[in-house]
Structure 1
Amino acid sequence: MQRKLLSIALMATAALTGAAVEAKAPIKHAPAPQAGTQILWDSFGVPHIYAKTEAGGFYGFGYAQAQAHGDILLHMLGEARARAAEYWGESFAKQDRWLVANDVPQRSAKWYAQQTPQMRADLDAFAAGINAYAKAHPEALKPEVRQVLPIKGVDIMAHAHRLMNYVYIASDQRVLVNPATNNAGGSNAWAVAPSRSASGHAMLLANPHLPWAPSILTYFEAQITAPGLSIYGATQVGLPVLRFGFNNNLGFTNTVNTIQGYTSYKLTLSGEGYSFDGKTLPFTTQQKSFKIRQADGSLKTEAFTQRYAVQGPVFDLPGGKETIALKVAGLDRPGVLQQYLDMGKAQDWAHFEKALRTVQAPMFNIVYADRAGHILYLDNGILPVHKQGGSYADWVKPVAGDSSSTLWKDVHSYDDLPKVLDPSSGFVQNANDPPWLATYPRVLDPGKWPSYVSTVGPMSQRAQMSVKLLSETPKLSFDDFVARKLTTRSLMADRMLPPLLAAAKDSTDPDVQAAVAVLSAWDHQDNAESKGALLFETWAAIFAPGNFTSQANYAVKWSLDDPLETPRGLKDPAAAVAMLKQAVAKTKQLYGAIDRPFGEVSRFHLGNVNLPGNGGFGNTGVFRTITWGPMKNGERTPAHGETWVSMVEFSTPMKAVGMMSYGNSSQPNSPHNADQLQFLTSKTFRTLWTTRKDVEAHLESTTNF
């Protein structure tokens, strides 16, 4: 009776107010996207996210990233807003100005609006997961980054846009200071076809080499399982999709390539404008501004007038002697996150290639393998079409901006890009080298592509070692595959020590005699116990300056006709021996002795974990790449190198091993920010737990939503 009277009263009230009766009736809310989502954290801090909706998977991934990397995550998202100087002061002003001048905040909002409804929901859910963690655990985050909260879906798009287009492709350092600047690091990648696999199953190696210090390039390992999506892999913190990953049927990885995705146009100033096609054109302008936090906490507005030419935004190069306009490829292509998501969703080659054909990722080689036995190398990227031709070197530096003849309008399609699919050799590889030696014997002819696509060479000795490791035997077992990934042998030592020792063997100089004795006993490996590695590395840096790249002292320079055995020989044997004497003195100065064990000074040292190191500089032909920083406090530690590694075989059941060298968390006091160094020092991997049963058997904690 009471319920009936209440219903009559509600109806009467609705009639008087004009409100719908349903507004007062019980409302059935749609479940939140994260409802039923669960994160199982394994004993290495890897989140295994199980969700009932796609957006729920993104929510869990955002939450997991905030838990494992919250401080750097929020800092990066604040930077992506071009408000870092507002939050953290003057040191970020230059960075903010670059993003504001290039319209990154406005374009990010436009790109967000251009996403599919599902992707917008996914981005919003990822942001909501970050916010949920921050609300539940504010004490776990540094006070200075909490001001960035709350995060919105558009912030995630802004971060992806900044990272891809204005860190990887067109950073301010690369555009304004040095076009040879590498903001992207390096990587190794292998795919082996069934024809070269002992088991008859394809195999894939993912192996990026990025900085070890927490930054915009820090990697995070995860597994995401949701309707239509089941993928294990890694990505850079802040991205809501996995850029390196595998599912039960296929896998893919990336390496940095040579795509020249922007053009700088040198302008000829004329009065208040610039010359173009025989006319003087006025600059168009916009008033821009950003805020800078002062030492006393107040905010100062920095205002500037941004000029634009027909090519794009205009900048004065340092020193004021040249003015350029910048045109970046792909600013009309907002689908980089969608492409990576679709690559991860694919279950066969046809659907994977469909994602590749969208050409939304602005750069990166893509190496692929699948259960059906297909393997692929693709020199992927958004590459301008230069109808007038020109070499790669021509387009890396500023080109004439006074004529429409240099102003490109189109970009190359997927079909235009160099690629190797299912070669008869049975493998593809890349170690940041140009595309032409993606497999061996070589199948790509540089002459069939415009010369601006890439340089012809030289091929690095790390890349040569990569090819050699895959070519040494006709068949590779999975154990062989793993063992060859772990090799620390220096190809430069294999190639150069025999002629060097022959030139030095008759020397009466005691320093040279001592060096010959040490190097003759060394096995050419950069292992912890190696006693000749430090001396050879020091000599190699003198012999081939420029990070071991100069070929001036070789007798034979690198050649595409002999790509795996050049450069080689001593141009001046006596000079090379004199360099060996220099190396003795320098090795003693740096390390105390010429036969000091490599691992005594080369250390895997993070926090309280300090272990003997192995692996060496890639340009000395070491595939297990560690770029060692300078000596400090009696040791040197990795600047970058081995980061995320996964090795899989598409057998039944699938084999999968890997590691995240510096651990899967950068948060202070996390047990997972150095707990995988044990695998690095022992040259082993951990099993990647891909089934729920295995995850539950190694469970550390559970987060339920």
Structure 2
Amino acid sequence: PDREPIQEPIAPAATGGPVITRAPIPPPVPPALAARHRTPASPDARPATRDERPDLPGSNNWAVAPRRSATGHALLAGDPHLSLSLPSIWYEAHVVVADTLDVYGVTIPGSPAIVIGFNRDVAWSFTNTGADVMDRYVETVDDSAAPGRYRLDGAWRPLELRVETYRDAAGRVLATDTVRYTHRGPMTRADGQWRSTRWTVLEPSDESAALLAAARATSARALLDATARWLAPAQNILAADRGGTIAIRSTGRYPRRPGDGRGDRLRDGATSASDWAGAWAVEEYPQAVDPAQGFLASANQEPRAPRPGARYLGAQWPAPWRALRINALLRADSAVTPDAMRRWQTDPGSERARAFLPALVAAGATAADAQARRAGALLAAWDGRYTLESRGAVLFEAVMRELARRLWDELRDADGTVVTPGASQMLLLLDEPGSPWWDDRRTDAREDRDALLAAALAAGLDSTVARHGPPGDARWAWRHAGALTIRHLLQLPALGASGIAVQGGPGTLNPSSGRGSFGASWRMVVELGPEVRAWGTYPGGQSGHPASRRYTDRLATWAAGALDTLRVPRRAADLGEAQLSAQLTLVP
């Protein structure tokens, strides 16, 4: 399937909770037939199952309406997850221009605007939408080795040739390359074909103007209006204001495609009928303002609930676990505090673990294999939380990897790599214990659900013991298995930071696998009362100089899940001497 069957959309569904799309799962076909009909994976396709790549980044943001906050003021939290680096990608700043601008947040060095932040009236944050805004076209060219023309609607058109020159630091030419362009975009050669690419990111846009306008917005609705010009990359823009309004919109340029509107297939480049026919109107974007439930959240999940006949927006959305978790926390708390928002940013609870543990424990209890019974008992003692001292998380992850490897054996190529369904599809299969998918065709026996779960339990325990020692060994603690690394931009180990123990695991709101360097690049909580209050931090420091005391002075706070109070004086003179470390005056 090209979408997760369990979703909690960004635009809240009418049901006010998760949306589960149950459809019969067709039986597996013989491997030879599957290989013959399998669609070639796109360059962006993820290897193995979606849940076997827990190191993928995942951003979160959510907002709470005044009637569900403890103080009666709107609240907003945001934590964009990116590949972490030292120096940090972000620079924290408070920009004040008398009677014109008063905005606080983080910017990218060299950017003219605050990207994520707040002013005196409104706060905002982003998560990636993940919409499909790229198409590839198979072009007919005049010369397969060195094309100079391409065919369109029965006529030859000249290709635009752009010579790209690569130089070293001294300006010496290292290499040159000729890039060929059709009217759609650049061409590349793949699988014996010349293919052109049309991608919204390569087209003219002015996101900086949208951000500059957002900094001057005085309400959540005004901020959405200001960012309507945002084209790429598509973002879920969440806002909250002092008036109590909360709002979200999946903003970007979404192409109107011909035919069935799908964007996940190669199109015929020889006809202009394959070209985009404009873009969606802003009113058609997934969005919500002041929903009845009193809160909004995005975690890169599918923006809208699936419905028959809906226009194609994308496929292969990230797993729904983070979205399910934050919505569950928000739904359970009718008096949310800023500190609760802070705690949730590193919440160790896992909806994925909560969903699978009962079946795994039950299968272990009735298994004939002693190792499977032992693994089931160990998981029964685990609370499903990825705390630093958790001893069950490493076993659970090993069992889930083994389960996916055995369950989807029919879909694997000879080299063992293929894009396969995620864990939510696996979860629905638990209700079909006799499904032929449970049979591992690499064995002589015919397995059902419980037999395959038992095999995964035994194999998962074996691999965990081999890697971390026997149960009870200190190496089973998640602080060791889930530690992450923040690399220096030049990949110089001495200037990076490694072995950082963080709370949270795959599919949690603070996803960490222990194998990567993705994480929350900035955490922020804002309370929009008569006087704005805010808290934030990021993994690094304001200085990019490794010898500076401000190179990594925020790192310990960030790793602990704490936030610093953000000071927002209206004038520089309002800062006390104790709060001032240096002052720089620029004279034109």
- TM-score interval, normalised by the smaller of the two chains: 0.7 to 0.9
User: How far apart, CA to CA, are the structure 1 residues paired with 2:388 and 2:174?
Assistant: 53
Question: Are positions 1:190 and 2:62 aligned together?
Answer: yes
Question: Are positions 1:591 and 2:452 aligned together?
Answer: no
Question: Pick from 241, 256, 259: which aligns with 1:388?
Answer: 259
Residue-by-residue CA offset, 1:108-153 (whole Å, 9 max, x unaligned) = xxxxxxxxxxxxxxxxxxxxxxxxxxxxxxxxxxxxxxxxxxxxxx
* Counterpart in the other structure of 1:251: 123
User: How far apart, CA to CA, are the structure 2 residues paired with 1:430 and 1:698?
Assistant: 35
Offset of residue 350 of structure 1:
4.8
Kept after mapping to 1: 8 A contact 2:120/2:531: no
Kept after mapping to 2: 8 A contact 1:465/1:491: yes
| Matching of residues 253-272 of structure 1 within 5 Å | 253-270=125-142
User: How far apart, CA to CA, are the structure 2 residues paired with 1:618 and 1:430?
Assistant: 17
Question: Pick from 363, 387, 402: which aligns with 1:503?
Answer: 363
Tell me, what secondary structure is at the counterpart of 1:483?
helix
User: How far apart, CA to CA, are the structure 2 residues paired with 1:458 and 1:362?
Assistant: 16
User: How far apart, CA to CA, are the structure 2 residues paired with 1:508 and 1:270?
Assistant: 66
User: How far apart, CA to CA, are the structure 2 residues paired with 1:210 and 1:203?
Assistant: 23
Offset of residue 478 of structure 1:
2.6
Question: Are positions 1:179 and 2:44 aligned together?
Answer: yes
Question: Are positions 1:275 and 2:140 aligned together?
Answer: no
Offset of residue 245 of structure 1:
0.7
Question: Pick from 214, 221, 238: which aligns with 1:367?
Answer: 238
Question: Pick from 311, 323, 328: which aligns with 1:450?
Answer: 311
Question: Are positions 1:614 and 2:502 aligned together?
Answer: yes
* Counterpart in the other structure of 1:308: 181
| Matching of residues 262-661 of structure 1 within 5 Å | 262-270=134-142, 273-277=149-153, 279-286=154-161, 288-293=163-168, 299-300=172-173, 302-317=175-190, 319=191, 321-329=192-200, 333-391=204-262, 395-436=263-304, 446-447=307-308, 449-451=310-312, 453-455=313-315, 460-507=320-367, 509-544=369-404, 549-550=422-423, 553-556=426-429, 572-595=449-472, 596-603=476-483, 613-619=501-507, 622-629=508-515, 638-661=516-539
Question: Are positions 1:669 and 2:555 aligned together?
Answer: no
Kept after mapping to 2: 8 A contact 1:193/1:426: yes
Residue-by-residue CA offset, 1:307-330 (whole Å, 9 max, x unaligned) = 33332332222x5x1111222337
User: How far apart, CA to CA, are the structure 1 residues paired with 2:350 and 2:116?
Assistant: 27
Offset of residue 241 of structure 1:
1.4
Structure 1 runs not aligned, ≥5 long: 1-175, 437-443, 559-569, 630-637
* Residue identity matched to 1:195: R
User: How far apart, CA to CA, are the structure 1 residues paired with 2:129 and 2:543?
Assistant: 28
Change in 2 beyond 3 A, CA 1:555/1:335: closer
Change in 2 beyond 3 A, CA 1:618/1:253: farther
Offset of residue 280 of structure 1:
4.0
User: How far apart, CA to CA, are the structure 1 residues paired with 2:346 and 2:506?
Assistant: 13
Change in 2 beyond 3 A, CA 1:464/1:243: same
Residue-by-residue CA offset, 1:248-300 (whole Å, 9 max, x unaligned) = 210111101122233221113355643322x1414333351414449xx7823
Change in 2 beyond 3 A, CA 1:237/1:578: farther
User: How far apart, CA to CA, are the structure 2 residues paired with 1:575 and 1:250?
Assistant: 52
Tell me, what secondary structure is at the counterpart of 1:353?
helix
Tell me, what secondary structure is at the counterpart of 2:581?
strand
Greater radius of gyration (CA): 1
User: How far apart, CA to CA, are the structure 1 residues paired with 2:483 and 2:171?
Assistant: 44
| Matching of residues 12-411 of structure 1 within 5 Å | 178-180=43-45, 185-214=57-86, 218-227=89-98, 228-270=100-142, 273-277=149-153, 279-286=154-161, 288-293=163-168, 299-300=172-173, 302-317=175-190, 319=191, 321-329=192-200, 333-391=204-262, 395-411=263-279
Offset of residue 482 of structure 1:
2.6
User: How far apart, CA to CA, are the structure 1 residues paired with 2:268 and 2:575?
Assistant: 60
Residue-by-residue CA offset, 1:614-669 (whole Å, 9 max, x unaligned) = 333443xx11222421xxxxxxxx51112200011112443322210233444322
Tell me, what secondary structure is at the counterpart of 1:543?
helix
Residue-by-residue CA offset, 1:167-223 (whole Å, 9 max, x unaligned) = xxxxxxxxx9713379994310101111222222111011111111348x8222222
Give the alignment's Cα RMSD to 1 decimal. Answer: 3.2
Question: Are positions 1:704 and 2:588 aligned together?
Answer: no
* Residue identity matched to 1:702: Q
* Residue identity matched to 2:74: A
User: How far apart, CA to CA, are the structure 1 residues paired with 2:275 and 2:404?
Assistant: 39
Greater Cα shift, 479-488 or 691-700: 691-700
User: How far apart, CA to CA, are the structure 2 residues paired with 1:258 and 1:291?
Assistant: 31
Kept after mapping to 2: 8 A contact 1:429/1:466: yes
Change in 2 beyond 3 A, CA 1:375/1:302: same
User: How far apart, CA to CA, are the structure 2 residues paired with 1:298 and 1:648?
Assistant: 47
User: How far apart, CA to CA, are the structure 1 residues paired with 2:307 and 2:315?
Assistant: 9
Kept after mapping to 2: 8 A contact 1:206/1:646: yes
User: How far apart, CA to CA, are the structure 2 residues paired with 1:377 and 1:287?
Assistant: 40
Change in 2 beyond 3 A, CA 1:424/1:613: same
Kept after mapping to 2: 8 A contact 1:359/1:413: no
Change in 2 beyond 3 A, CA 1:571/1:281: farther
* Residue identity matched to 2:284: D
Change in 2 beyond 3 A, CA 1:702/1:477: same
User: How far apart, CA to CA, are the structure 2 residues paired with 1:332 and 1:608?
Assistant: 35
Change in 2 beyond 3 A, CA 1:177/1:377: same
Q: TM-score, normalised by structure 2?
A: 0.75
* Residue identity matched to 2:287: K
User: How far apart, CA to CA, are the structure 1 residues paired with 2:234 and 2:485?
Assistant: 33
Kept after mapping to 1: 8 A contact 2:220/2:241: yes
* Residue identity matched to 2:343: A
For these two proteins, the number of residue pairs brought into alignment is 492
Q: TM-score, normalised by structure 1?
A: 0.64
User: How far apart, CA to CA, are the structure 2 residues paired with 1:608 and 1:333?
Assistant: 36
User: How far apart, CA to CA, are the structure 2 residues paired with 1:337 and 1:480?
Assistant: 32
User: How far apart, CA to CA, are the structure 2 residues paired with 1:695 and 1:180?
Assistant: 53
Change in 2 beyond 3 A, CA 1:305/1:640: closer
Kept after mapping to 2: 8 A contact 1:584/1:594: no
User: How far apart, CA to CA, are the structure 1 residues paired with 2:236 and 2:302?
Assistant: 10
Offset of residue 365 of structure 1:
1.1
User: How far apart, CA to CA, are the structure 1 residues paired with 2:367 and 2:484?
Assistant: 37
Kept after mapping to 2: 8 A contact 1:329/1:411: no
Tell me, what secondary structure is at the counterpart of 2:80?
strand
Offset of residue 604 of structure 1:
5.6
User: How far apart, CA to CA, are the structure 2 residues paired with 1:571 and 1:229?
Assistant: 64
Residue-by-residue CA offset, 1:517-541 (whole Å, 9 max, x unaligned) = 4322222111111111111122223
Kept after mapping to 2: 8 A contact 1:527/1:613: no
Instruction: Give the fraction of aligned pairs with identical amino acids, expressed as a percent.
Output: 24
User: How far apart, CA to CA, are the structure 2 residues paired with 1:314 and 1:507?
Assistant: 56
